[in-house]
Amino acid sequence: MPTTQRTRPLIAVVGSVDTGREFTPPLRAADRARDACRALGRELARAHCDLAVFSSKPKYVEADVVAGYADASHAGSPGRVAAYPPRHKDVDFALPEGAHVTVETLRDTSGEWEVSYYRTLLDCDGVLLVGGGQSTRVAGIIALSQRIPLLPVAAFGGGAGQVWVNLDKVRNDTDDADIALLGDNWSPDAAPRLVECLLRQRERARRAAADLERVERSRARRAGTGLAVAAVCLLAAVAALVTAGGPGPATARGLAVLLAAPLLAAVSGALIRHSFETAAGWSRAAVRGLGAGLVSVLLYVASQLLTVPALLDDLDVRRLLFFTVPLGFSAGFTFDLVFERLRAGAVAGPPGVDPLAGGASAAPADPVTPPAPSR
């Protein structure tokens, strides 16, 4: 879809109802098709739309649509036709003198008409398809894939009729009533209802794009908030290394710092990990990280108390924090692995390096009997 919303929608006109050609699927009611194209052109002018056309040859529907478009354009509401002919080609719709329609020729640098043709479709606000063959069908498929509002007039068969079948499967911004209208036989009052259907699709697409943009902005704000909370938690955990007191008997403050700092690091790790994922909410990740950090840190402290029962009598909080803060961060960052290990019955323990200097927390080694002297 076009990235900007124009004041006047730009509608591409594609198709052919030339009875001298063979189309697959074949045309239907071709004797009424040219009048229908003129009627559609008049309604597009009354709806204040601009037209994007690719040829002025009579064998294509653009000539009849532009003729009807010029009939309904007036000084109070002039029309605009943007022509995208192949390079070195011109267009001439033979509009009557004094017609309130401006025809602008916009040439593409590519020497292949297909490049300009399909590239232009991507910049339009809607596509009108009448009859036509393979190129018309491909244009419709491109519009379907890019969610461009589409008006395949199935009453006259051809490629447009096949696109209507495809649209029924994809739907995009149409509903059951729109599909039924697009597939109905041509009637004198069909043109205004069809153009209204096209503009309804455009409005639905505009609202859907606005809703998606709001969701993306909200998701970005939540992600930014989560990262800000992660940074604050990580800085607070590091600050505990500075503010922690020296060795001494365990106090409520010392134990609080010993537990709070690695838990803050765990929350930070979980939130940083969450920033790489697509889920929007970060609070759940913070709780998971908190749980993983709490389990890991408590198991580690418990293992130290079992090894050194007098640990709390001479507790060096700052020295332990140099180990427990990274442990908490790692547990939060890999909370899924921590919970998986808990499910498997494994107990989290410290790595091989002992954070307590002098081997205070190391289990006593088994005595080694020296070898007997040789004789």
In this structure, the answer to whether residues 165 and 229 fall within a common structural domain is no
Using omega within 30 degrees of 0 as the cis cutoff, is the peptide bond preceding 247 cis?
A: no
- Residue 123 is part of which domain span? 10-186
Answer yes or no: is 370 within a domain: no
Answer yes or no: is 192 within a domain: no
- Predicted confidence at residue 63, as pLDDT, reads 97
**Where does a domain end: 186, 208, 241?**
186
Q: What is the CATH number of the domain that holds 129?
A: 3.40.50.450
Answer yes or no: is 233 within a domain: yes
- Predicted confidence at residue 61, as pLDDT, reads 97
Answer yes or no: is 208 within a domain: no
Please return the burial class of 246, using the count of CB atoms within 10 Å of its CB with bins 0-12, 13-18 and 19+. exposed
> Whole-angstrom Cα distance, residue 347 to residue 296?
9
In this structure, the answer to whether residues 162 and 22 fall within a common structural domain is yes
pLDDT in tens, 61-103: 999 999 999 999 999 999 999 999 887 788 999 999 999 999 9
In this structure, the answer to whether residues 153 and 236 fall within a common structural domain is no
Answer yes or no: is 20 within a domain: yes
Print pLDDT tens along the chain (375 aa).
564 567 899 999 999 999 999 999 999 999 999 999 999 999 999 999 999 999 999 999 999 999 999 999 999 999 999 999 887 788 999 999 999 999 999 987 776 778 888 899 999 999 999 999 999 999 999 999 999 999 999 999 999 999 999 999 999 999 999 999 999 999 999 999 999 999 999 999 999 999 999 998 988 888 899 999 999 999 999 999 888 877 888 888 888 999 999 999 999 999 998 888 766 578 888 998 899 889 888 888 888 888 888 888 888 888 889 989 999 999 889 887 777 776 676 554 444 444 444 444 444 444 444 444 444
- Predicted confidence at residue 335, as pLDDT, reads 80
Q: How many domains does the chain have?
A: 2
For residue 255 the two structure tokens come to 């134990």
Answer yes or no: is 211 within a domain: no
Reduced to 3 states (helix: H, G, I; strand: E, B; else coil), residue 9 is coil
Answer yes or no: is 197 within a domain: no
In this structure, the answer to whether residues 33 and 97 fall within a common structural domain is yes
The rounded Cα 319 to chain-centroid distance in angstroms is 47
What DSSP string runs through 247-316? SBS--HHHHHHHHHHHHHHHHHHHHHHHTTSS-S--HHHHHHHHHHHHHHHHHHHHHHHHH-TTGGGGB-
> Whole-angstrom Cα distance, residue 325 to residue 319?
11
- Predicted confidence at residue 364, as pLDDT, reads 44
In this structure, the answer to whether residues 126 and 233 fall within a common structural domain is no
In this structure, the answer to whether residues 172 and 258 fall within a common structural domain is no
In this structure, the answer to whether residues 83 and 172 fall within a common structural domain is yes
Answer yes or no: is 271 within a domain: yes
In this structure, the answer to whether residues 180 and 236 fall within a common structural domain is no
The residue with tokens 């052109």 is: 41
In this structure, the answer to whether residues 151 and 236 fall within a common structural domain is no
In this structure, the answer to whether residues 279 and 334 fall within a common structural domain is yes
In this structure, the answer to whether residues 173 and 284 fall within a common structural domain is no
The rounded Cα 209 to chain-centroid distance in angstroms is 10
> Whole-angstrom Cα distance, residue 305 to residue 247?
16
Please return the burial class of 375, using the count of CB atoms within 10 Å of its CB with bins 0-12, 13-18 and 19+. exposed
In this structure, the answer to whether residues 151 and 244 fall within a common structural domain is no
